[in-house]
Structures are given as C-alpha cells and as structure tokens.
Amino acid sequence: MNNQITIVFVSYFSKSKVLNYLKQFNDKFKVIIIENSKDLSLLKIVKKYKNVKVIINKKNIGFGASSNIGLRKVKTKYGLHLDLDTKFSNNSIIKLIKTASKLDDFIIIGPKIQNYNYKSKDYLKKNYLKNLNLMNFIDGCCLLFNMNKIKKYGLFDENFFLYYEETDLFKRYLKFDQKIFMTENVSIQHQGRSSSNEIYNIEIEINRNWHLLWSKFYYYKKHYNYFTAICMISKSLFSSALKIVIYTILRNDFDKKIYLARFSGAMNSILKKKSWYRPEI
C-alpha cells in the first residue's frame, strides 16, 4: 500500500463507478468515499477492501462540502480528489505522486486531461519547469493536494453546491501566490456528467442547470462586485426567460424545465438566497 496518498471520492448514486475504481486499486491506496445519497449499499460492498472508509451524508450537501469532509480526514502527505467519471490508472497515480515529491513548493497538481481544449488564459506560465505548466485554472476532476498547504489556506467554499467551486478555490490560492501545476507527463480521461446512475439523468440535469447560474453569479459577486455579476449573468438570464416562453408554446416540457431551472438559479443568486435547490431523488 502507498502511504503517501489518500484518494477522496464524492459519490451520488455512483456505486458501480466506485466499485470499478476499488477493483482497480486492489488495496494499493487509502480511499475515503463520501456518499451524498441515501444508498447504504456501499457500506456492504467496501467491507472486503481493507483501506477504504465510507461516510454516508444524511442529505445531499454538494460537491465542495463533501470533498471537504474527505480532505479533513486525510492523514497522508497528499490528498487526491478524483471524480468518478474519469479513467485514471494506478501507474498514473504513482507518476503524479513522483512528480509532486520532486517539487519544493506547490499547493495543487493536476494531470493533463485528454482531448481537453486548454485556453491561453488557463496558463500562468507554460513550461515553468520541465513538463510542468504553472496554471490559473485546471479542471477539477483530478486534483492532487499538498495537505500541509491546504490546511493553511483553506478548502472549498461550501456555499457552492455545484459548479465554480474549484474556480473559486484556485483564485483564492493564487491571491496568496500559491502554485498550481499541470503536468504534461501524466494524463487522464474525463468523460464528464456520467458519474451517477443513468436512471436519475433528467433530475440531475435540471439540478445542474439550476446551480450553474446560481454559482456563476455568486462567484463573480464574491470576487468582483454585484454589478459585475449582473453583467456576467444577464445574457443567460434573458435567454432563459425567452426560451421558457418558446418551449411553453412548443409544449416541450423537458427543455422548459431546464430553462426554468436556469432562470430560478440566477434569480435566487441575484436575490442573495442560498443555493437551496436539490434533485428530487
């Protein structure tokens, strides 16, 4: 077993995905699973794995808050947040650890995501070190945390239920001149939006759209000001209102629900209400 790292999973009806990773790890790594649903079956499944701990939340508290629970329980040098809609080999995890161990100063390292379109604004400095880019932003699907650093500089803002939580985290770390790296030597597959059981897809999609606009407004209000946040969200707000009317006329109930969710999320954030919406599962 590798004693340098603990892997943290946030699950929401993601039992099959969790089991796939546990079979792959085969007790080579310590694992903490935070389950945000009422599904207790994970407790039975993980009994045969020696290095796995499951925490069942009484209610769905969201990505950031759940990840924080797991990270606070990490006792190893590194904590790895890993989304369940990824494919990341044991050898790649080891390579990521080796890369981290060679660095004197960093707070987060992430692998290169296959087929991801990195933008120029994502980079702070390309080739800052050999095969390492200093970043403004990396995708939150796989984040290797320097645990000593995050204990000092803080975890995810739990006001975010979904979306923008890693963007907020990176911005806060960068204000303290903390280094976020993306390594060119390690890659990961990220499927996106496929970690939960498919039978819940409709309600989860509505949930995503509600929080997408709530979180966007909250993020810009938090880091800039209320007026900037209004400007950043206004196009999506008016577009959502228009599409509600269109899909009502066309009697397209699914798309109408999606844009009602977007409009509601935006308005609740503008009115300074908490991110209260939860999927009805």
Over residues 71-103, the pLDDT tens digits come to 999 999 999 999 999 999 999 999 999 999 999
With a cut of 80, say whether residue 194 has pLDDT above it: no
Mean pLDDT in the chain? 94
* Structure confidence at residue 232 (pLDDT): 98
* Structure confidence at residue 82 (pLDDT): 97
- The mean pLDDT value for 35-54 works out to 89
Here the tokens at position 205 are: 């999609």
* Structure confidence at residue 198 (pLDDT): 65
With a cut of 60, say whether residue 195 has pLDDT above it: no
**Distance separating the N- and C-terminal Cα atoms of the chain:** 37
With a cut of 60, say whether residue 67 has pLDDT above it: yes
Burial 187-199 (b: 16+ CB within 10 A, else e): bbebeeeebbbee
Contact 269, 218 (CB under 8 A): yes
- The mean pLDDT value for 251-279 works out to 96
- DSSP class of residue 38 equals S
> How much of the chain exceeds pLDDT 90, in percent?
86
